[in-house]
Amino acid sequence: MASIMPVDPSLRSVAAALLFFAIGASVGGVLGGALGKQQSTHAGFRMIDAMEDGNIAVIGSISVSQADDVRLALEKNAASDIVMVAKELG
Q: How many CB atoms lie within 10 A of CB 19?
A: 14
Its sign, for the CA torsion 24, 26, 32, 35, is negative
Distance from C-alpha of 70 to C-alpha of 83, rounded to nearest angstrom: 11
Q: Evaluate if residue 3 carries a pLDDT over 80.
A: no
Distance from C-alpha of 82 to C-alpha of 72, rounded to nearest angstrom: 10
Q: What would the mean pLDDT of 10-34 be, rounded to a whole number?
A: 90
pLDDT recorded at residue 1: 57
The predicted model scores a pTM of 0.40
| ∠ Cα 38 39 42 (to 5°) | 130
Domain parsing of the chain, residue ranges: 8-38, 40-90
pLDDT recorded at residue 64: 82
